[in-house]
């Protein structure tokens, strides 16, 4: 080795011994990745392929290499990294001015230069400008000017004035674009670029990054498209905010709007179970906190707040970033400063004013094996929203028990419609019947009209996180003409039961005759059905012809007559679950599976129970979901594989709804709902000869009586 190689090895080694394990591992990972990229040489192909294709993937690899190469140069001083990043950027500077619309664009307006959509160009820019910043001072003036002028200035121009419609949106695509343009402004010393990034092309603040941070998150830091897109939207916010803080600290960007950016980061983490995002709306289900956006987000947030809960998130991620913030995270983690992240029950309002409904999260125990009930009472959430008003999901014991399908999409898998959303995302994923909420007359909410849906949000009427009696109530008006519905979901602790119980009271107010369907999508294998089935064993019919019904195979139908019998028990992992409901007169139960009319096998096949009622006027769906028992395969021991609930009864007393639950051991309790938002007002009502008293909108009253 030459002496300069030796000294750089020595420098690297001494650096390494200074580094905490998590950071050292990132450096090592990046070194390996750069070694591979450098081995392959500079490869900057003429753009040609759509998402998942060769040129698409190569340009993605390149911007990662530009970013990481720049950071490695900054950390190690090793010239080879600066040289490689320079050479790649020079190759881009050569090609960039020659590029027009992308050949695989979907439409002219959204076309990128390097990628099929302008969003990817913006992502390229956010990473690349950071890599360039790290090596720019080391360049010759000629190279610097070449890259400044022919690449970044041109790209900034394209992403701003050249893509004015996208740039001026209040939408995460615009956040990526403004972040890329603004950071380029700082690096090139072009105040104009910073100004239009922050304040919009007209510099009047009606669009641009600052406005986006005001309009895209609710006061609780909730992003209206849902957790999957919240994660995605977060990176440009956090990274650009970091750059603003460095270059323009007087702006106090992290204090803007009551610290909204850090709040949004924490909310993003709260919207997970076992590290995976609640998959409502157009979500890819395998997305967890282990993504680049959140590595950046956690590092930046930790460097601003020193909240030890964030360290445990970094630990779960097993990753950090190559910045000073990442180094701090790794050091403090190694110093044992981590504390559990405080996952908790919370009401996250939706809408910039917080008045467009909410997502209610009711938790018990930790976020890995405990319970999480999500009441999806938020607004439609724009184009990626689903027709799922007042739907819910439930997690327990590390698994999703009551499920949301998420998006019908195989991201970046060419064979599946080029990795784009599948047609089944429209015909199934978004439809109401694919969710755990009310379907009227076989039609989706708002008759499947997204524009109409965006205009009306549910109203969150009540939220209580009182331990053992957590309750959320919301009301939806306008999803169906002449029919509104109000749902109370509660996470209750009952004496004598080992696990919390979910209670669900859905009151439907309607005029005229309607068919009401209430689906429950669950994960597990059926153990026991409490009622007699008419099974379709030799040929399996389809439930309907549109609005998602065309995708449902009917396994069996039934007419359960009482709550004693109206239950289905299934097993998931080592725990049993029983859903029990009060069958309304003449109601039907349909046991079914998705996957009909799916000739390309685009759908996962999942199970559901549908309660179907034909009623003149309104209706009430009352049910409980119970976790019970244990199956221990290793020890060959099974306990309490059957339901521990003896009965449930529902009564309407005046305006009040009462749900009486009795366990096998005789413990009785009542979920009482007054629907009266005066939380100080006292109420009482009768059920089954017993008088119950409570205060406020709703409560859970334990009546005792158990034999244990």
Contact residues for a second copy, defined by CB under 8 A: 52, 57, 60, 284, 286-288, 290-292, 410-416, 419, 525-529, 533, 535, 537-542, 553, 555-556, 569, 571, 593, 596-601, 604-605, 631, 633-639, 641-642
Interhelix angle 54-76/118-135, nearest 10 degrees: 20
23 is written with which tokens?
């950071």
- Using CB under 5 A, list all residues that contact Zn ion: 386, 388, 404
Which option in Zn ion, a second copy, none does residue 537 bind, with CB closer than 5 to 8 A by kind?
a second copy
Side-chain-side CA neighbours of 259 within 13 Å: the count stands at 8
**228 labelled catalytic:** no
Give ∠ CA 83-86-91 in degrees, rounded to 5: 125
Smaller CB separation from Zn ion, 391 or 669: 391
Q: In what order do the strands lie in the sheet with 656-663?
A: 645-653, 656-663, 668-673, 698-704
Which option in a second copy, Zn ion, none does residue 535 bind, with CB closer than 5 to 8 A by kind?
a second copy
Smaller CB separation from Zn ion, 406 or 530: 406
Please, what is the minimum distance in Å from the beta carbon of residue 542 to a second copy? 5
Smaller CB separation from Zn ion, 56 or 386: 386
* Spatial distance between the Cα atoms of 23 and 292, rounded to a whole number of angstroms: 15
Question: Residues of 116-143 as b/e, b for ≥16 C-beta within 10 angstroms?
Answer: bbbbbbbbbbbbbbbbbbbbbebbeeeb
Q: Are 148 and 188 in contact (CB under 8 A)?
A: yes
* Phi, psi of 94, deg, nearest 5: -75, -45
Return the C-alpha torsion angle 115, 118, 120, 122, nearest 10: 130
Please, what is the minimum distance in Å from the beta carbon of residue 318 to a second copy? 11
Please, what is the minimum distance in Å from the beta carbon of residue 536 to a second copy? 9
Return the C-alpha torsion angle 592, 598, 603, 608, nearest 10: -10
Closest CA to 89 of 120, 125, 40: 125
Please, what is the minimum distance in Å from the beta carbon of residue 70 to Zn ion? 39
Pairing of strands 469-480, 459-464: antiparallel
Smaller CB separation from a second copy, 349 or 569: 569
Question: Residues of 607-643 as b/e, b for ≥16 C-beta within 10 angstroms?
Answer: bbbbbbbebeeebbbbbbbbbbbbbeeeeeeeeebeb
Please, what is the minimum distance in Å from the beta carbon of residue 636 to a second copy? 6
Which option in a second copy, Zn ion, none does residue 386 bind, with CB closer than 5 to 8 A by kind?
Zn ion
Smaller CB separation from a second copy, 291 or 665: 291
Report in angstroms the alpha-carbon separations of 378 from 387, 429, 525: 11, 17, 31
* Spatial distance between the Cα atoms of 490 and 412, rounded to a whole number of angstroms: 39
In terms of DSSP H, where are the helices of 408-526? 423-424, 450-455
Q: Quick one: three-class SS letters along 130-155?
A: HHHHHHHHHCCHHHHHHHHHHHHHHH
429 DSSP 8-state letter: I
Report in angstroms the alpha-carbon separations of 673 from 260, 488, 685: 34, 8, 10
Q: Which of 102, 384, 462, 551 is catalytic?
A: 384
Cβ count within 10 A of residue 558: 21
Please, what is the minimum distance in Å from the beta carbon of residue 597 to Zn ion? 19
Residue nearest to Zn ion (CB): 386
**628 labelled catalytic:** no
Cβ count within 10 A of residue 39: 7
Please, what is the minimum distance in Å from the beta carbon of residue 544 to a second copy? 11
H or E element in which residue 294 lies? helix 292-305
Which option in Zn ion, a second copy, none does residue 593 bind, with CB closer than 5 to 8 A by kind?
a second copy
Please, what is the minimum distance in Å from the beta carbon of residue 407 to Zn ion? 8
Closest CA to 385 of 448, 433, 441, 436: 448
Please, what is the minimum distance in Å from the beta carbon of residue 121 to a second copy? 16
Which option in Zn ion, a second copy, none does residue 413 bind, with CB closer than 5 to 8 A by kind?
a second copy
In terms of phi and psi (left: phi > 0; alpha: psi -120 to 50; beta: otherwise), the region of 2 is beta
Report in angstroms the alpha-carbon separations of 536 from 107, 170, 235, 556, 612: 47, 50, 50, 6, 18
Instruction: Identify the three-state secondary structure at position 278.
Output: coil
* Spatial distance between the Cα atoms of 664 and 706, rounded to a whole number of angstroms: 8
Please, what is the minimum distance in Å from the beta carbon of residue 99 to a second copy? 23
* Spatial distance between the Cα atoms of 580 and 574, rounded to a whole number of angstroms: 20
Which option in Zn ion, a second copy, none does residue 286 bind, with CB closer than 5 to 8 A by kind?
a second copy
356 is written with which tokens?
């467009």
Smaller CB separation from a second copy, 58 or 331: 58
Smaller CB separation from a second copy, 57 or 192: 57
Q: Which of 67, 73, 186, 229 is catalytic?
A: 229
Q: Give the gyration radius of the chain's Cα atoms.
A: 28
Q: Could you give the residue numbers annotated as active site?
A: 229, 384
């Amino acid at each position: 080795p030459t002496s300069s190689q030796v000294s750089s090895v020595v420098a690297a080694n001494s650096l390494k011994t200074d580094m905490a394990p998590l950071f050292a591992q990132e450096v090592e990972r990046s070194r390996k990745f750069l070694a591979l990229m450098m081995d392959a040489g500079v490869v900057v192909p003429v753009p040609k392929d759509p998402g998942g294709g060769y040129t698409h993937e190569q340009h993605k690899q390149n911007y990662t290499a530009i970013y990481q190469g720049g950071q490695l140069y900054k950390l190690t001083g090793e010239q080879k990294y600066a040289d490689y990043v320079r050479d790649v950027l020079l190759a881009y500077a050569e090609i960039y001015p020659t590029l027009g619309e992308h050949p695989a664009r979907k439409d002219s307006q959204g076309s990128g230069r390097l990628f099929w959509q302008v969003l990817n160009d913006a992502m390229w820019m956010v990473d690349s400008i950071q890599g360039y910043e790290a090596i720019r001072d080391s360049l010759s003036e000629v190279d610097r000017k070449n890259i400044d002028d022919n690449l970044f200035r041109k790209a900034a121009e394209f992403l701003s004035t050249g893509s004015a419609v996208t740039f001026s949106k209040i939408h995460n695509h615009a956040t990526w674009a403004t972040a890329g343009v603004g950071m380029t402004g700082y690096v090139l010393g072009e105040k104009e670029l910073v100004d239009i990034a922050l304040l919009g092309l007209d510099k009047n603040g009606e669009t641009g990054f600052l406005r986006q941070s005001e309009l895209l998150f609710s006061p609780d830091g909730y992003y209206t498209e849902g957790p999957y897109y919240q994660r995605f939207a977060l990176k440009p916010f956090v990274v650009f905010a970091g750059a603003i803080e460095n270059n323009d600290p007087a702006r106090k960007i992290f204090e803007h709007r009551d610290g909204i950016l850090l709040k949004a980061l924490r909310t993003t983490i709260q919207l997970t179970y076992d590290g995976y995002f609640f998959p409502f709306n157009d979500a890819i289900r395998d997305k967890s906190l282990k993504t680049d956006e959140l590595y950046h987000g956690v590092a930046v947030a930790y460097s601003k707040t020193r909240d030890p809960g964030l360290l445990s998130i970094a630990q779960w991620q097993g990753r950090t970033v190559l910045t000073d913030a990442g180094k701090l995270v790794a050091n403090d983690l190694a110093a044992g400063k981590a504390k559990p992240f405080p996952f908790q029950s919370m009401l996250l309002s939706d809408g910039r004013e917080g008045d467009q409904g909410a997502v209610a999260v009711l938790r018990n125990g930790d976020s890995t094996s405990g319970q999480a009930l999500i009441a999806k009472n938020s607004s439609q959430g724009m184009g990626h929203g689903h027709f799922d008003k007042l739907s819910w999901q439930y997690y327990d014991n590390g698994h999703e028990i009551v499920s949301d399908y998420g998006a019908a999409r195989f991201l970046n898998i060419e064979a599946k419609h080029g990795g784009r959303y599948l047609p089944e995302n429209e015909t199934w994923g978004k439809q109401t019947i694919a969710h755990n909420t009310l379907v009227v007359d076989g039609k989706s909410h708002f008759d499947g009209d997204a524009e109409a849906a965006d205009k009306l949000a549910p109203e969150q009427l009540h939220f209580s996180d009182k331990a053992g009696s957590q309750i959320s109530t919301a009301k939806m008006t306008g999803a169906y003409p002449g029919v509104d519905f109000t749902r109370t979901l509660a996470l209750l602790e009952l004496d004598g039961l080992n696990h919390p119980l979910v209670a669900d009271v859905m009151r439907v107010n309607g005029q005229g005759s309607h068919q009401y369907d209430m689906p429950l999508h669950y994960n597990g294998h059926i153990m026991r059905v409490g009622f007699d089935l008419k099974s379709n064993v030799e040929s399996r019919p389809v439930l309907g012809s549109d609005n998602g019904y065309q995708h449902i195979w009917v396994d069996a139908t039934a007419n359960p007559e009482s709550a004693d019998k109206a239950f289905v028990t299934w097993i998931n992992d080592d725990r049993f679950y029983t859903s029990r409901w009060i069958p309304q007169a003449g109601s039907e139960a349909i046991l079914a599976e998705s996957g009909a009319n799916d000739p390309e096998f685009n759908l996962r096949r999942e199970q559901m129970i549908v309660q179907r009622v034909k009623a003149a006027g309104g209706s009430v769906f009352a049910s409980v979901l119970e976790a019970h028992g244990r199956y221990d395969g290793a020890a060959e021991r099974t306990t309490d594989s059957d339901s521990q609930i003896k009965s449930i009864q529902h009564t309407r007393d005046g305006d009040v709804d009462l749900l009486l639950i009795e366990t096998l051991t005789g413990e009785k309790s009542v979920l009482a709902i007054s629907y009266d938002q005066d939380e100080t007002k006292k109420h009482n009502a009768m059920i089954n000869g017993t008088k119950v008293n409570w205060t406020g909108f709703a409560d859970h009253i334990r009546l005792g009586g158990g034999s244990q």
